[in-house]
């Protein structure tokens, strides 16, 4: 069975306001055909990461270790956390977080900032690494006795409810404050602000957990650009590859395909970019997938639609091809 994982397909509505459907005037015959022909089931909402962890039986496994295995295979063993570069924006009594997607950080800038952090914290046993411009790590001198929140769940939000919690929470809050003060003084950030770019004024700590051992192998292949998803596949022995530009009959049928191009635009409230990305998904994925299923080249197809307020699965079985009375279904009517 081919399983499509599609977060942010439906934008969240505000309290007391009907669901906003910015796709209403878009031609989406592939997507609406898939939604209309399949059997729909509403389930309790969870994030893509939580869903993948359930499938791979990896609840509690360290996200930092999973992604580190791809980004930095030569890393020393130890207690690793993600320490991703972020921009915090003061908004009255809140501090809103924006991730690296709005920073356009270059590797040379990331290396300079991480070098400054290491100059200060190396003596205390910390080692910062900028494996990529957007994915940083920190090796801790001892295990972190705290609970953190994945970065994806905090983007655009006030950070205070999501700060590390647990027995040593205050220690990590102080650590983050020190890092913020250090980053504020960096010439790299001064230069970025002079040219109109946002400074890297904090890091986000997350991804604690146990080592990945004995994971399940729910499919034979995974296609995704998301590093955590690829890390789960690597740790479980599932063949994994970057997400192709579009659907091809050469893709393995027993697979998870993570179509997450809508997430960034949805998190930033960029409706036009969200529409553009949806149009690309329609052309490159939904239309050819619907056609392949109708022609019998795909037997069973499953869509998992992740949303903040609800979650839907849509399953298209071979017998559904003959149910012509099932009309196309728009996002607004889901």
Classify strands 39-43 and 311-316 as parallel, antiparallel or unpaired.
Answer: antiparallel
**Using the 8-state DSSP alphabet, how is residue 41 labeled?**
E
Supply the pLDDT for residue 132.
Answer: 95
DSSP 287-333: HHHHHHHHTTSSS-EEEEEE-SS-EEEEEE-GGGGG-TTS----GGG
**pLDDT tens column, 240-267:** 999 999 999 999 999 999 999 999 888 8
Find all residues with CB under 8 Å of 96, minimum gap 6, and list them. 88, 89, 90, 156, 157, 158, 159
Q: What is the pLDDT of residue 19?
A: 54
Q: Do 320 and 31 contact (CB within 8 A), yes or no?
A: no
Supply the pLDDT for residue 12: 55
Query: In the prediction, which pLDDT does 20 show?
Result: 61
Distance CA(55)–CA(49), nearest Å, equals: 10
pLDDT along the chain (334 residues), means of 10: 94 50 89 96 93 96 94 88 96 91 95 97 95 96 92 92 95 96 96 96 95 94 97 97 96 97 88 95 98 95 90 95 89 82
What pLDDT, on a 0 to 100 scale, did the predictor assign at position 242? 96
What are 301's strand-pairing partners?
A: 2, 316
Calpha distance 266→234 (Å, rounded): 28
Q: Which pLDDT belongs to residue 17?
A: 40
pTM of the model: 0.89
Helices (H), 44-168: 48-56, 63-71, 107-121
For the chain, list the domains and their CATH numbers. Answer: 2-60+212-333 (3.40.720.10), 63-206 (no CATH)
Task: Count other Cβ atoms within 10 Å, centred on residue 297.
Answer: 12
What is the rounded distance in angstroms from the CA atom of residue 159 to the CA atom of residue 270?
A: 21
Q: What is the pLDDT of residues 267-303, one digit of tens each?
A: 878 999 999 999 999 999 999 999 999 999 999 999 9
C-alpha torsion angle, residues 9, 11, 12, 13 (rounded to 10)? -130
Which tokens hold the place of 138?
């920190």
């Amino acid at each position: 069975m081919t399983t499509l994982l599609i977060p942010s397909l439906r934008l969240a509505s505000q309290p007391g306001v009907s669901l906003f459907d910015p796709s209403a005037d878009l031609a989406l015959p592939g997507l609406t055909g898939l939604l209309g022909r399949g059997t729909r089931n509403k389930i309790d909402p969870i994030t893509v990461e939580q869903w993948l962890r359930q499938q791979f039986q990896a609840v509690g496994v360290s996200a930092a270790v999973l992604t580190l295995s791809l980004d930095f295979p030569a890393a020393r063993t130890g207690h690793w956390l993600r320490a991703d570069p972020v921009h915090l924006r003061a908004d009255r009594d809140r501090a809103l977080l924006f991730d690296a997607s709005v920073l356009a950080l270059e590797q040379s800038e990331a290396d300079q900032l991480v070098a400054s952090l290491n100059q200060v914290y190396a003596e205390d046993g910390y080692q910062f690494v900028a494996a990529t411009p957007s994915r940083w790590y920190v090796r801790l001198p001892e295990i972190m006795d705290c609970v953190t929140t994945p970065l994806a769940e905090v983007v655009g939000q006030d950070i205070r409810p999501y700060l590390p919690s647990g027995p040593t929470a205050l220690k990590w809050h102080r650590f983050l404050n020190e890092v913020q003060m250090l980053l504020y003084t960096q010439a790299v950030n001064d230069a970025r602000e002079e040219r109109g770019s946002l400074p890297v004024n904090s890091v986000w700590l997350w991804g604690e957990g146990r080592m990945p051992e004995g994971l399940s192998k729910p499919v034979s292949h995974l296609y995704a650009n998301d590093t955590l998803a690829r890390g789960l596949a690597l740790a479980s022995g599932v063949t994994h590859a970057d997400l192709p530009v579009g659907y091809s009959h050469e893709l393995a049928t027993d697979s998870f395909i993570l179509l997450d191009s809508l997430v960034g635009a949805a998190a930033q409230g960029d409706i036009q970019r969200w529409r553009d990305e949806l149009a690309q998904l329609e052309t490159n994925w939904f239309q050819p997938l619907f056609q392949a299923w109708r022609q019998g080249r795909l037997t069973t197809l499953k869509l998992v639609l992740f949303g903040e307020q609800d979650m839907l699965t849509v399953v298209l079985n071979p017998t559904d091809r003959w149910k012509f009375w099932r009309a196309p279904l728009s996002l607004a009517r889901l």
